[in-house]
Amino acid sequence: MNRFSTVLTNLWWAAFTELPFLFVLWRYWGTWMHYLGAVIVGIVYPISAWAWFDLGSMSLFAQIAFFVVAIASCVGGTALGILIADRLRRAGIGRHR
């Protein structure tokens, strides 16, 4: 069950990155929208995981660092994904817009 719950968790958080696209009904695909989705996840995750990590018992510095790391990792992962997609498109893989 643990492996299946990991898949469900990843699907749940991936849904948040789709929120900006949902608002425009997937008709517009600006790169900034990918970053907006990443920032949304980077903010929502620490809030939803507050009790699990007992962030309230941590120092203010640790709480801020948790948010900064969450946002930075989401934005960094998004940047890496965009870089890989761009390189693949330049290599002739995938469709061009």
Q: Give the tens place of pLDDT for each residue, 43-91.
A: 988 998 888 889 999 999 999 999 999 999 999 999 998 999 889 988 8
> Which helix (H) or strand (E) element contains residue 18?
none
Query: Of residues 73 and 97, which shows the higher confidence score?
Result: 73
Distances (CA, A) of 23 to 13, 16, 26, 47, 70: 17, 12, 8, 22, 24
Domain limits, the chain: 2-90
Confidence of residue 12 (pLDDT cuts 50, 70, 90): confident
pLDDT at position 58? 94
> Average pLDDT of 24-51?
83
Q: How far apart are CA 90 and CA 79, in angstroms?
A: 16
pLDDT at position 92? 87
